[in-house]
Amino acid sequence: MKTEESETQAQYERPMSDAQGTAHGTNFLIRFDRVTKTYKDSSVALQGIDLSIADGEFISIVGPSGAGKSTLMKLIYAEEMPTEGEVWFNGRAISEISRGKLPLHRRYIGTVFQDSKLLNRKTVFENVAYALEVLGVPSEEIEEDVPQILEIVGMGHMMEKFPEQLSGGEKQKVAMARALIHKPIVIIADEPTGNLDPVSSLEIVDLLLKINELGTTVVLASHDKDIVNKAQKRVLVMDQGKIINDYSKGKYKLI
Amino acid sequence: MFLMISRTFREALKSLFRNGWLSVATVSILILSLYVVSVLYVVTHTTDKILKDIQNKITVSVYFKPDVAEADILAAKSDLEKNGQIASADYVSRDQALADFKRENADEPVILQSLDELGDNPLLASLVIKANNSDQYQAVSDYIKQTSYKDEISRINYDKGNIKDVISRLNSIDATTRRIGLVLSLILVVISILITFNTIMITIYAQRREIEIMRLVGASNTFIRLPFVFEGIIYGVIAALVSMLILFITLKFLTPYVSSVVSPKDTVDFYTSHFFQIFGLQLLIGIILGIISSLVAMRRYLKI
């Protein structure tokens, strides 16, 4: 019970990329140190990955399905643990975080997926508010923050709509608002534009760029070369669990 | 902390209504098993009480030969009273035995008439012995047969077989009802654990999306678990309340039909006097069931 209480308290300290990030003498927010991930059926998802992502960076990960993009991202938000090697986050080895403290780790991270994972029985407002409710944020604060964030993603006028009344792009914007509502230091977007038309896709990328400008690190996985090239940021090319190329400016034309 | 409890409790209530049919099924099964367990509990207790009553009424009479003096019988009485296994030994003189007999058969003129025709008092003086425990009569009877006054005794009615049989039968009925009650209760409890477990698992499956989102935004494990634990508790409380009501109705209206064996007042009295005991037991079983099954289901089907 004691650990839970400290969790409840900790959730009011909004995550900030503070001194911890430089604790090991690096400016890296996320660092993969010779990481290999093998799944139970002994298929290798990642092989000896070395990767550093700086605080405030925008990084796109591209590659065909099965290249290991999703696994790499899952290792960041601790959905999976590496078989070998270590993932460092904010100056801390993720494998050393106890099970009970993993929720705290996840509060530093916002996630967006191909399927927006919205709750169909809740309105747009309630969907975003839910993310704060489960963190134990006081109701007054929720009333204040949620419209604000919905305004930022351009969904302020649709707060009372239900997900099924929204288009795919609008759903993703709401998902984005939900990922941002607890002020994470990293946004992990796994194929956020996978289901969208080109116009909506570009809107989502614009939104990610905007978030990045405000200081949030963005990790975007995609196999859509248009949106990656639009970003004009660092591009990581993966294939078969390995990093093939690491361009500092987006010029991804392969595959 | 309070915020967390009120929010998770609300979630639990919501899920309870959203799963309407499933909830009704689970609660019904819980009610049924709690009900049967409590009926068994009441039945074992009442049989126990009835048997105790009967056992208390059992006495063994030691009849003395007609020519034994009253002083000798009183000497025997005081000797018996010293025996640790004997609770009491009451002297019934020949005259008193006759008076008792006449009273008992007051409405049987034929018997009274034949007694009158006999002229003499045919009844024997006796000591009515009550043992501390019904299974001690054999020992008491054996003891009497090796005392110094054994020759003054005409007979001990224990030896006639009847009483011996009745006593040993009562003792075994007592043990059997207890054993059957225990085994049946255990089986029912196991069944309800499995069913509650199953329902909560289905509820968890139905809400896997919510749970996934909670995990992704970093809700604490307690926050994710609590709604399901509350749901289990609510099931338990509702089931306990309803089965308590049904139990009362059963006892109130059904026991008169078996009044030849059980006095209805006995069982209803038992219900009222043990209300909190039975209700507490039901609540406890219900709540523990709810909590354990939700925790186990969460651990098995979620990565938390």
Residue B137, pLDDT > 90, answer: no
Q: Which helix (H) or strand (E) holds A33?
A: strand A28-38
Separate counts of helices (H) and strands (E) for chain A: 8, 10
Q: What string of DSSP letters covers B41-108?
A: HHHHHHHHHHHHHHHHH--EEEEEPTTS-HHHHHHHHHHHHTSTTEEEEEEE-HHHHHHHHHHHTTT-
Query: Alpha helix (H) ranges present in chain A?
Result: 2-10, 69-76, 102-106, 124-133, 139-152, 168-180, 198-213, 225-231
**Structure tokens, A90:** 């904010």
**φ/ψ (deg, to 5) at B59:** -135, 160
* The amino acid at A50: D
pTM: 0.64
Going by C-alpha positions, the residue among A41, A163, A37 that lies closest to residue B213 is: A163
Contact A106 B223 (CB under 8 A): no
β-bridge mates for residue B88, sequence order? B130
* The amino acid at B63: Y
The pLDDT value recorded for residue B161 is 58
**Structure tokens, A32:** 């993969």
CB nearest to A117's CB, from B212, B221, B222: B212
Name the average pLDDT for chain A: 84
β-bridge mates for residue A46, sequence order? A37
Going by C-alpha positions, the residue among A221, A210, A227, A213 that lies closest to residue A74 is: A221
| B5, B207, B217, B228: best to mutate for the A interface, most A CBs within 10 A | B217
Q: Which helix (H) or strand (E) holds A39?
A: none
The pLDDT value recorded for residue A24 is 43
The pLDDT value recorded for residue A22 is 42
Query: Could you read off the pLDDT of A137-193 as tens digits, one per residue?
Result: 888 999 999 999 999 899 999 999 999 999 999 999 999 999 999 889 999 999 998
CA distance A179 to chain B (A): 7
Is some CB atom of chain A closer than 8 A to the CB atom of B182?
no
Which SS3 state, helix, strand or coil, does residue A162 take? coil
Contact A103 B212 (CB under 8 A): no
From the CA atom positions of chain A, what is the Rg in Å?
18
Torsion over CA of B162, B166, B168 and B171, rounded to 10 degrees?
Answer: -170
Residue B266, pLDDT > 90, answer: no
More confident residue, B13 or A32: A32
Long-range contacts of B72-76 (CB under 8 A, 24+ apart): B72/B149, B72/B152, B73/B125, B73/B127, B73/B152, B75/B149, B76/B127, B76/B147, B76/B149, B76/B152
Is some CB atom of chain A closer than 8 A to the CB atom of B210?
yes
Chain B residues 245-304 within an 8 A CB cutoff of chain A: 303-304
Give A15's pLDDT tier (boundaries 50, 70, 90).
very low
How far is Cα B184 from Cα B188, in angstroms, rounded to an integer?
6
CA distance A254 to chain B (A): 32
The pLDDT value recorded for residue A177 is 94
CA distance A103 to chain B (A): 4
Give A75's pLDDT tier (boundaries 50, 70, 90).
very high
Residue B152, pLDDT > 80, answer: no
Going by C-alpha positions, the residue among A98, A79, A103, A46 that lies closest to residue A239 is: A46
The pLDDT value recorded for residue A176 is 93
ipTM value, please give it.
Answer: 0.73
Which SS3 state, helix, strand or coil, does residue A182 take? coil
Query: Could you read off the pLDDT of B270-279 as tens digits, one per residue?
Result: 777 777 877 8
A96-105, A107-116, B83-92: the lowest-pLDDT one: B83-92
The pLDDT value recorded for residue B162 is 66
Query: Could you read off the pLDDT of B32-62 as tens digits, one per residue?
Result: 877 877 777 777 777 777 777 777 777 788 8
How far is Cα B182 from Cα B119, in angstroms, rounded to an integer?
58
**Structure tokens, A136:** 């134990």
More confident residue, B253 or A14: B253
Give B256's pLDDT tier (boundaries 50, 70, 90).
low
